[in-house]
């Protein structure tokens, strides 16, 4: 088991010798190791909970492998479970648009899938799919609602995530309107890099075109420019970040705006 980073806030300081387990009691070896090389990663919301609240939540969670293109939520269908990704990227897609499908939001280990449940409804007009494989903790929507109603610390944290998600989505609208494709492409690579926990990850041009709202040919040009500058390497749908500081330089300021909001709201 890995010891979490401990905050100086006395309210969150666990008793001496306590540890916050990264795997669930009784989870199978296959489930516990679902993240492969990133098995030590954890969902940021769960890590931010006080230890006592985390321990109350543990028995409700189920380890879940996230497979590429797996559908977690269907448009206008009841949301039966929420997911707290540990590794990977889940994409919220607006389908059947006049110009084709387009991504309207992403969630990784910085949050959870199933935000409408927090707001008292059980469906949304978007499809949520797994775009980069990983693993997550799954919690039934009924149990999630009960915890939010009964546990103020949990409610406060997930509401903060809702604010962060709204900030991120609004910033993306501004970014898509104001910045060049290459800068936007660099920003999305940074956001994905943050969520997978390693320097190499699967990221197809098809997915990038959904994220950026452009044709695949435009993605090829933008990614090619970053590759020519030896900032990243792209081969057969696999991205390797070679120079993170230069990737941040190549991005627009939107990345740092949303990252600052994330740190402020989620700790």
154-172 pLDDT, tens digit each? 999 999 999 999 998 888 8
Q: Quick check: helix, strand or coil at residue 3?
A: coil
Domain count, the chain: 2
Q: What is the pTM of this model?
A: 0.79
Q: What is the pLDDT of residues 91-133, one digit of tens each?
A: 998 886 666 677 888 899 999 999 999 999 999 999 999 989 9
Asked, for residue 244, whether it belongs to a domain, the answer is: yes
Written as six digits, the tokens of 227 are: 């590759």
Structural domain includes residue 34 = yes
Helices and strands (H, E) in the chain, number of each type = 11, 8
DSSP alpha helix (H) spans, the chain: 29-32, 44-48, 51-57, 115-118, 141-150, 152-178, 181-196, 205-212, 216-228, 244-250, 254-266
pLDDT in tens, 76-94: 999 999 999 999 999 998 8
Question: Based on the domain organization, do 29 and 146 belong to the same domain?
Answer: yes
Pairing of strands 200-202, 127-140: unpaired
Domain enclosing residue 169, as ranges: 25-175
Do the beta carbons of residue 22 and residue 61 sit within 8 Å? no
Residue 97 has what pLDDT? Answer: 61
CATH number, domain containing residue 169:
2.60.120.10
Higher pLDDT, residue 192 or 6: 192
Which CATH number do you get for residue 213? 1.10.10.10
Are 155 and 237 found together in one domain?
no
Based on the domain organization, do 156 and 78 belong to the same domain? Answer: yes
């Amino acid at each position: 088991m890995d010891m979490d980073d401990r905050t100086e806030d006395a309210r969150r300081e666990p008793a001496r010798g306590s540890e916050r387990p990264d795997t669930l009691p009784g989870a199978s070896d296959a489930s516990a190791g679902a993240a492969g090389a990133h098995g030590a990663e954890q969902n940021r919301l769960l890590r931010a909970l006080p230890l006592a609240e985390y321990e109350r939540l543990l028995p409700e969670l189920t380890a879940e492998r996230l497979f590429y293109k797996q559908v977690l939520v269907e448009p206008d269908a009841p949301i039966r479970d929420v997911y707290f990704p540990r590794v990977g990227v889940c994409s919220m897609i607006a389908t059947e648009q006049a110009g084709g499908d387009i991504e309207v939001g992403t969630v990784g280990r910085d949050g959870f899938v199933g935000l409408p449940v927090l707001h008292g409804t059980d469906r949304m007009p978007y499809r949520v799919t797994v775009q980069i494989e990983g693993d997550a903790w799954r919690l039934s929507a009924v149990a999630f609602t009960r915890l939010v109603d009964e546990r103020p610390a949990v409610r406060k944290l997930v509401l903060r995530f809702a604010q962060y998600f709204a900030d991120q989505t609004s910033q993306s609208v501004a970014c898509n309107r104001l910045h060049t494709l290459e800068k936007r492409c660099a920003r999305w690579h940074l956001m994905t890099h943050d969520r997978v926990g390693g320097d190499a990850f699967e990221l197809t041009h098809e997915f990038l075109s959904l994220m950026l709202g452009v044709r695949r040919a435009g993605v090829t040009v933008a990614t090619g420019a970053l590759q020519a500058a030896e900032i990243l390497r792209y081969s057969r749908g696999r991205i390797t970040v070679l120079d993170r500081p230069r990737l941040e330089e190549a991005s627009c300021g939107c990345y740092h705006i949303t990252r600052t909001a994330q740190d402020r709201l989620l700790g």
